[in-house]
Structure 1
Amino acid sequence: MTLSLILRDAETGEFGSVIASSSPAVAARCVNLADGVGGAHSQNVTDPRLGPALLAELRAGASSQQALDAVVSAADPATIDFRQLLVLDSAGRPAVFSGGRALGIFGAATRDNAVAGGNMLASLEVLDALVDTAVTAQGRIEERLFAALQAALAAGGEAGPIHSAGLSVVSDAGWRVTDLRVDWDDAPVETLGRILAEWLPQRDDYTHRGLNPAVAPSYGVPGDE
């Protein structure tokens, strides 16, 4: 039901996530990112508690594999086999767990600074398209994430239709500087692309407004001078 990617930009230190699913509100349930720490996804019959648990291990100094091992070993043995977990740490090291009861065609693909996973896929080649495009694409991390999602869909995507998608990025502001979600739509990736095109030129302005509103760019609304 889900395909996803966590990516680290080695030049900027930013972490980003892109995710799509046949289920509604996938980004709200599955994605966890933290400035300077890394990212974690909990998907496939999602337990949303596992992502924050993975980030907590990373914050405590664990590597991605150590964090994954700790969370999997502490999880309920009756349910962990349904889960799929992706982790990327501050050094860009990936780790993946796919329980044997994940759905349909499932698997993962890893590169330095990137980890992708999915279930109920058209084929495992979808994940290679996802990570390979992410690490070779040019532009800001949001553009690379979106290009990777488009490549994954062109390679076959999920076995069924996609209805929700999300794209998120953390930098050094203390919050998600990009957090875009399409929670239910007949063409969520196309809709996400339109939102991203509107948002990305304004992203840094909104960050500046949050950090230092007195010297931030104009808000561009009636009454603003």
Structure 2
Amino acid sequence: MTLSLIHVQPATGTVAALTATGGVAVGGYVHHVWRGLGACATQGLATNPWYPEGVRHALRQGHFAREALQRVVQRDDGASSRQCLVMDANGQSAVHTGHDNLPVIASELRPTAAAAGNMLANEQVVATLLRTFLALSCANPDDVWSRNAPPRYHDGYETHLPETLIEALDAALQAGGDNRGTRSAALRIESFDAAPIDLRVDWDDAPAEALRALVRRVRDPGFAAFLASLPKQ
């Protein structure tokens, strides 16, 4: 199983991703984010680590998420074993789930935020992940969920994205998570006005709590001052 959420804020170019799985070192293989451009999560029965290169190239050429995803899937002889979620700079998303992936399989796509998973304990895991993220981030989560309305994000919500992503993950794991158990988790956030945040728990019996502990260390005044001192682009 792998469970992922990606988020793009078109107004600022901030991009975020969260991933968790029952295997080792999920952060090294699954999610990829590019500020001002988009994101993808490549997972499934067998992850294809070359999808991100093709997706990024297509997005840079100006293709929308659906076109970028179609390009990499069409070139892949093993696409039936893949699940891939892509979002472009406009917050539009697309998902591919091959027929060889193991159930329970689910995906939920909304403007600027989307989630997908496979080998889940139940169908509510992905919905819980995304709905919790929306509830914590925006003022109109019910409209976003039921009517695909554009989210009205809270002022300053980007500042708390690491905590929000972890709370959403925790809710999804409480809803069932991976049917094998969840052992690794990671998040990455890129923006134009701060250094990237790239946190990974490669193996732990409680990866959401371990990720939360890492965020507390990042928020420590000493390390926060170090991050704030880094060049901005």
Q: TM-score, structure 2 length as denominator?
A: 0.84
What's the secondary structure of 2:36's corresponding residue? Answer: coil
Q: In 2, distance between residues paired with 1:39 and 1:114?
A: 11
2:12–2:36 CA contact under 8 A, matched in 1: no
2:165 equivalent to 1:145: yes
2:18 counterpart letter in structure 1: V
Q: In 2, distance between residues paired with 1:205 and 1:134?
A: 27
% identical equivalent positions: 34
Q: Which residue of structure 1 lines up, in the alignment, with residue 15 of structure 2?
A: 15
Alpha-carbon distance, 1:66 to partner: 0.9
2:188 equivalent to 1:189: no
Q: In 1, distance between residues paired with 2:230 and 2:9?
A: 23
Q: In 2, distance between residues paired with 1:125 and 1:150?
A: 13
CA offsets per residue over residues 5-34 of structure 1, 9 Å max, x none? 001235543111111101101111111111
Which consecutive residues of structure 2, in runs of 5 or more, have no partner in the other structure? Answer: 138-156
Q: In 2, distance between residues paired with 1:39 and 1:206?
A: 26
What's the secondary structure of 1:92's corresponding residue? Answer: coil
Q: In 2, distance between residues paired with 1:205 and 1:52?
A: 33
Q: Which residue of structure 2 lines up, in the alignment, with residue 221 of structure 1?
A: none
- Max radius of gyration: which structure? 1
What's the secondary structure of 2:87's corresponding residue? Answer: strand
Q: How does 1:27-42 map to 2 (within 5 A)?
A: 27-42=27-42
2:13–2:36 CA contact under 8 A, matched in 1: yes
Q: Which residue of structure 2 lines up, in the alignment, with residue 69 of structure 1?
A: 70
Alpha-carbon distance, 1:42 to partner: 0.6
1:34 counterpart letter in structure 2: W
Alpha-carbon distance, 1:97 to partner: 0.3
CA offsets per residue over residues 82-103 of structure 1, 9 Å max, x none? 0000001101111100000112
1:109 counterpart letter in structure 2: E
What's the secondary structure of 1:100's corresponding residue? Answer: coil
Alpha-carbon distance, 1:51 to partner: 1.8
Q: CA 1:64/1:201 → structure 2, altered by over 3 Å: closer, same or farther?
A: farther
Match of 1:161 among 181, 193, 196: 181
1:30–1:51 CA contact under 8 A, matched in 2: no
1:19–1:26 CA contact under 8 A, matched in 2: yes
Q: How does 1:1-225 map to 2 (within 5 A)?
A: 1-9=1-9, 12-44=12-44, 45-76=46-77, 79-138=78-137, 139=157, 140-172=160-192, 177-200=196-219, 205-211=225-231
What's the secondary structure of 2:188's corresponding residue? Answer: strand
1:58 counterpart letter in structure 2: L
Q: In 2, distance between residues paired with 1:81 and 1:144?
A: 33
Q: In 2, distance between residues paired with 1:37 and 1:170?
A: 10
1:5–1:19 CA contact under 8 A, matched in 2: yes
What's the secondary structure of 2:180's corresponding residue? Answer: coil
1:126–1:157 CA contact under 8 A, matched in 2: yes
Which consecutive residues of structure 1, in runs of 5 or more, have no partner in the other structure? Answer: 213-225
Q: In 2, distance between residues paired with 1:151 and 1:187?
A: 13
Q: TM-score, structure 1 length as denominator?
A: 0.86
1:122 counterpart letter in structure 2: A
Q: Which residue of structure 2 lines up, in the alignment, with residue 223 of structure 1?
A: none
What's the secondary structure of 1:4's corresponding residue? Answer: strand
Q: Return 34-43 or 1-10, whichever deviates more.
A: 1-10
Q: Return 40-49 or 194-203, whichever deviates more.
A: 194-203
Q: CA RMSD in A?
A: 1.9
